[in-house]
Structures are given as structure tokens and as C-alpha cells.
Amino acid sequence: MNRSLGRSRDEGGVVAIVVAIAALVLLGVCALTVDIGHALVEKSGMQRRADFSALAGGAGENLPKVAAGSVCVQGPYSWTKPKVDDPAIVDAVAYLNRNLPTGPDVSPTQVTTAGELLNCRLGDGEAGYGVWNEPDSNGFRSFTANPNQLSVISQPRQVDFGFASVLGFDSVNVGGQATVEIKTPLMKTLPFYAFAPCDYGQQTFSQPAPGHAATNVNLADAGNSSTYTSFVTATSLETSPASDPPAIAHNPSPSTNVPLVINGTNLNTVTKIGFYQSGESTPPAPTYVDIGVTPAAWTVTGTTKINLASVPANVISTQGTWFVRVFGQKSANGAGASQKAWTPIVDNQDNLVALPLAVGNATLSCEEGPSEGNFGTLSLDRETSPNAGGEPGEIARNIALGLEHGLAPFPTARLAPPDYVCSDGVNDAHEWPYDGTNCVGTKPGLPSEAAEKGFVTGVSGEYAGLLTNVDDGTGCAEDGKPATTVLLGKEINNDVLSCFFTNDDVTVGDVSARTYSGDVVISQTIYKSSRFVLIPVLGRQPDCGSCENYQIVDFRPGFIGEQPDATTRLTNDVSPDNGLTLTSSNGNPSLQAVKVIFLNPKALPDPPLDPNGNYIPYVGAGKKSLLLVD
């Protein structure tokens, strides 16, 4: 038997129901779209608020900073929070409050205070020196401390939904988190070292005499000196006001006393004090102060301190570097014969013993002392092309190509004066070859071959000399083209420091003085010059070649060149060799010395932002760039 499966049905109104349901869905989607769009707009605004708050907090000298507040705990994690009066926190909060969100749903609780931003609750905003990491499986966030970073989590804003509320979605909280970090632009760091007082002014890096240390301080009375183990020694100077290294003001017409203290041993035997200046062949006549003058020229405290009433007037009126020595005279007694002699110029290792005293903006040259050990190169072996050309070849590559790893200053809290000796892994010391190396070995002198190839000639087919970069945009002229000259057959950059000045009155001596406290007076274009470099500063003068590693305490910006201290951008005087001194042997010229004008960082502008992102972690000294990193 057949059964009919089809029958007539009334389907009127079905389409209307489907349309109604679809319209409801579409209306809900549109409602969500409108409300989510509104939330995203607010989220973007809150993120910008966090970004600029972090940038405001990290600006100026606010970073680096180590948190010194109380400890916050969140689940298994903890962090040390900043103090409420830290400048970075004060500035970040000030920006947040100057740029409050607007709208009918803004409540008074969204006004931020430093206390609210440091209450250990991430959900209502927080700030710290470092960065909060992604939540773990339980929703807790660990914190990585970094004194070079500032993170700001802005207080959340509640965004109320309109249309979406009919679907059960009433509101959402939106906020922002940003992290800024100070970094160092990737600048040319030379593989040399400097140390006080050879880290300001115009200095000379030259090669030592072959085979032995060469003493370049040439003082009078050199033949009438005691041995280093003499019965009388002069070990240090004290000026008033105190200065390290010792320095006094220059006064062409002195009318008041300038006292000086000389420390040493057996100073009660001293009958004469000598002030000397160095000379190349015949040194200038010294200035003496005798014990027999009236009123008394000095008094002695015990046997270890001479209190000189005043530095001689002609010393005060003559700018430059003077050297102080004392003459001791000891009568014969049962213990031995009479003795009389000047304290020596150098000791038996050719280390300078005569005490330097800077008058005004003295330009103590690093060659005015033992050229072996008084300056030199850093032992930074290369990983690419190791030992190619021997030690001079590695030095040359480090000059021309740059260092393969970044250097950094030793943590201030871990510095170990007066020796400044360090060992890898001890007290946060890091030796080469790793980024952040702050503990370095040294080698005396600068081989001529290394200087020639590194700065000028390069090696054909492998690398060019540092100064042969004469590309457009690297010069100080308005069109960006550098001045050039030919040296050892190569075209090199020949710009001078004064060409980069932005002030008609400032001098080379001003910007290279340790005491400079003026405004920024050097153009930002100097950073593009191949003559602009950074040089690490050691805490002390290495005294034993490569037998020790030493702490890096600072970095000093420098400009390869030579100009009289009085030079301005209007006079633009320059020496004939502009910092690169040639010598000739058997008719073959070679590079004998490289002269560097060390600059006071206060005279330099902030470096330009690098569109290619060529930055390294902040080295702890010199100019820094503030970047938004998260």
C-alpha cells in the first residue's frame, strides 16, 4: 500500500521570523562593533598616555636609577619599587595628570598620585625600574629589574557599553603599559685607554721608543735627583679648593695667596721646593721657593706635610702643567753620611714621580710622562680574522672596523680604588670578549703600523682606514661635505673641531676643559664625523703592562685633531698636521702620533635618533638616547 508523504502546509510568516532573528543578530553584531570600536579607541588613547608618561619619566637625568623603596610581592614574584619622590616617578605622574582621559565616565579615582602608582597592585597602575613580563599560568607577572628602564602601567579606565549592554556586556576596563630604556648610540670606540689627568684637554697617543720605555717629561735638575728609595719623598698635592687631579686657577696678575699642601715622607728635611715645566731639549728654568725667606714660605706638620703659604706668582700667572719636586738635605750622623737631593722625576720603572699641578686649562699631554704605560691600547682580541697581522693587525682592525663587543663602565658600587684592579667574575667584573666588558687588559704604547692601517691606509681588499670615510653628510660644512686632505696616499677627512661650534665665542680650550659648565655649543653633526670617537677611561695608570686587568670607570668623547686652545669658529686655526704627525725613516713616511682633543660631555648635544636602530645598552657614561622599547 502506498502512503503519500507530501501534504499541503501554510508557511506564511517564516521569512519574517528568519529576518527578525537575523536582524537581531546583525543588530547585536553592530552593537558589539560600535562598542568594541569605542573601547579600542579608548585603549589606544590610554596606551599613548602610558607611552608619553614613560617618556616623560625617563627623560633628562632621571635614568639610570636603582629602585630603593620597599618590596612588593605578587604571588611567587617580588620587586623593589621606586620611592615616591624619585624624579622619574614625579615626572611620569605629572604627565598622567596633565593628560587625563575625558568623557562622562571619567571618575575622580582616575587622577593619579605617586602613591597610587606605587601601591604594588598592577591592576590599578604601577611603575618600576625594569619591565613586567607576561603573566604565568596563574596570572602572576614576574619583574626584571633594569636601572636603565622605566615601565609605566597606567590606571585603567572603565568604558561603558551602550548597545552591547542588552547582550549582557556592560563595560570593559582598558589601560596601557609602556617601557622606555636609555641606550647609547653605536659610536666609534677606539681600543685605547686614558686616565686622569690625561682624559681632558688635548692629548697625544704616540708610539714608544723601540724596545724600551721613553721618558718624555724633561725637567731641569734631572741630574741632581735622589733614587726612588730616597730619604725624602713627595707623594701627592692638595689644592684649595680641592681638585682631582690637582689644579689651581690661572691669574695673569695674582694678588692673593694660593695655598698648596705637599704630602710625603721626611719633609722636615726639605730646604727648597721647585716648580718645573717640561721642555723638549732644554727645559725652562724652574721657580724655586727657599726655606730661608721671610716671612716663612711654609710650615711642616710632623714629617709628612708641607703647608706652602702660596704657589709662586709666576706659576699662577703661567697657564699650563707644572711639576712639583722638593729638595731634601740631611746632615751626617752616626747612622750614615749626609744626604741631599731633589725628589726624582721618575722611579726605577720610569713611572712619573714628579707631581703635576695644572694651572688654568692645562693640556697635560699623555706623552708628557713615560710613553710606555702612560697611555696605550686595550687587549681586545678579535674573533674574526684572529691574529691576522699579529698584534698590530688586531689593533688596526679594532680602530678601522670598530670593536666586536661593547664596553661598559664598572658598577660604581664595585669600584676598587686606588688600584682599580679586577678579575673576571669577581664583583661584577666582565672580561673580553663579551658585550658589557668592563674589566680590560692593557698593552703599552701604540705601534706605528697599527695607527697607520687603522686610521689611514687600511688593508687593500679587506678594510679602509677610519678617517677615509669622506661621504657626504659626515662633514661640518652646510652641504655636509667634509674637508679633505691626502695623507700616506689616501684621501682622509680633514675637518677641524671648531668648525662644529654653534657659538662664535666658545673656544677649543673651553669645550675640552674638565671644568666646563656652559651650554651645548657643538653641532649634532659631529656625531657623523669619522674624527669623533669615544675612549675608555681607566681608574688608574697601568703600571705593569699586561700583568693586570683594570676597571673601566668612564668613557670620554674625543675629536681626532689639534688646534690652539684659543681657537673659535671664527678664527678656525689649525695645526699643519691636524692631529696626525708623520715621521720619516730612510725616506719612508710613517704615522708617529695621533692627537685627540677630549671633550666635556656638557658641550655636546644629545645624539640624533638612528633610523637604523644602531644602539647598544647604555654604557653608563656620555650621551644617551631614550627609546620606547615596549
pLDDT at 211 over 70: no
Average pLDDT value for residue range 329-356: 73
**Band of residue 81 on the pLDDT scale cut at 50, 70, 90:** very high
Alpha carbons 496 and 572: distance in angstroms, whole number: 8
- Identify residue 358 by its one-letter amino acid code: A
CA distance 272 to 259: 16
CA distance 574 to 568: 11
Q: How confident is residue 612, by pLDDT bands cut at 50, 70 and 90?
A: confident
- Closest by Cα among 561, 503, 509 to 530: 561
What integer best gives the mean pLDDT of the chain?
81
What's the average model confidence in pLDDT over 186-192?
A: 84
pLDDT band at 18 (very low <50, low <70, confident <90, very high): low
- Contact of 400 with 466, CB cutoff 8 Å: yes
Residues 365, 352: Cα–Cα separation, whole Å = 13
What is the tens place of the pLDDT at every residue in 299-331?
999 999 999 999 999 999 987 778 999 998 877
Rounded to whole angstroms, the Cα distance separating 388 from 378 reads 17
pLDDT at 218 over 80: no
Under DSSP, the state recorded for 195 is -
Confidence category of residue 11, pLDDT binned at 50, 70, 90: low
Q: Is 68 exposed, middle or buried (0-12, 13-18, 19+ CB in 10 A)?
A: exposed
| pLDDT confidence tier of residue 213, bands split at 50, 70 and 90 | very low
pLDDT at 202 over 80: no
pLDDT tier, 362 (very low <50, low <70, confident <90, very high otherwise): very low
The pLDDT of residue 378 is above 70 = yes
Q: What pLDDT does 479 receive?
A: 86
350 pLDDT more than 70: no
* Beta partners for residue 616, in sequence order: 184
Judged by average pLDDT, the poorest of 59-63, 103-107, 131-135, 422-426 is 103-107
Q: How confident is the model at residue 333 (pLDDT cuts 50, 70, 90)?
A: low
Q: Given this model, what pLDDT does residue 444 score?
A: 65
In what helix (H) or strand (E) does residue 80 lie, and over which residues does it extend? strand 77-80
**Residue 34 and residue 38: Cα distance in Å, rounded?**
6
pLDDT (0 to 100) of residue 621: 61
Residue 543 has pLDDT above 80, yes or no: no
Higher pLDDT, 52 or 175: 52
Condensed to tens digits (0 to 9), the pLDDT of residues 235-255 reads: 999 998 887 668 888 888 888
Under the banding of pLDDT at 50, 70 and 90, the label for residue 384 is: confident
Which pLDDT band holds residue 210 (cuts at 50, 70, 90)? very low
Grid cell for residue 115: 602613591
In whole angstroms, what is the distance from residue 348 CA to residue 227 CA?
8
- What is the residue extent of each domain of the chain? 15-185, 192-211+371-606, 233-359
Instruction: Write down how long the chain is.
Output: 630
Whether the per-residue pLDDT at 181 is higher than 70: the answer is yes
Number of H-type helices and E-type strands within the chain: 7, 32
Handedness of CA 552, 558, 561, 565 (dihedral sign): negative
pLDDT digits (tens, 9 = 90+) for 548-566: 899 998 889 999 998 988 9
Report residue 340's pLDDT band, with 50, 70 and 90 as the boundaries: confident
For residue 28, the one-letter residue type is G
**Closest alpha carbon to 153 in 40, 39, 38, 51:** 51
| Greatest mean pLDDT range, 90-99, 144-153, 238-247, 572-581 | 144-153
Instruction: Using a pLDDT cut of 70, give the percent of the chain over it.
Output: 80
CATH class (in words) of the domain with range 233-359: mainly beta
Instruction: Answer yes or no: is pLDDT of 450 > 60.
Output: yes
Residue 388: count other Cβ atoms within 10 Å of its Cβ: 13
Span 287-292, mean pLDDT?
89
Confidence of residue 164 (pLDDT cuts 50, 70, 90): low
Residue 506 pLDDT > 90: yes
Does residue 373 have a pLDDT over 70?
A: no
Mean pLDDT, residues 110-130: 85
- Of the candidate ranges 11-20, 493-502, 525-534, the one whose mean pLDDT is the lowest: 11-20
Round to whole Å and give the CA distance between 271 and 529. 53
Q: How confident is the model at residue 518, as a pLDDT?
A: 93
User: Does 7 have pLDDT greater than 80?
Assistant: no
* Cβ contact 369:352 at 8 Å: yes
Residue 180 identity: V
DSSP per position, 345-379: SB-TT--B-SEEEEESS----TTSSBTTTSSEEE-
> In terms of pLDDT, which residue wins out, 249 or 332?
249
Using the predicted structure, report yes or no on whether residue 575 has a pLDDT greater than 90.
no
Whole-number pLDDT of residue 298: 93
| Residue 365, pLDDT score | 40
What's the pLDDT score for residue 195? 79
Q: Which of 152-161, 248-257, 400-409 bottoms out in mean pLDDT, i.e. has the lowest?
A: 152-161
The larger pLDDT score, comparing residue 156 to residue 129, is at: 129
pLDDT of amino acid 458: 92
What integer pLDDT is reported at residue 214 of this predicted model?
31
Query: Could you report how far apart the first and last alpha carbons of the chain are, in Å?
Result: 79
Higher-pLDDT residue of 417, 52: 52
523 burial level (CB within 10 Å; 0-12, 13-18, 19+): middle
* Least confident span in 86-90, 217-221, 424-428: 217-221
Instruction: Give CA separation, 401 vs 188, 210, 380, 608, in Å.
Output: 9, 27, 13, 22
d(CA 274, CA 312): 10
Sign of CA dihedral 419, 420, 424, 429: positive
- Compute the Cα dihedral for 418, 213, 441, 451 and give only its sign: positive
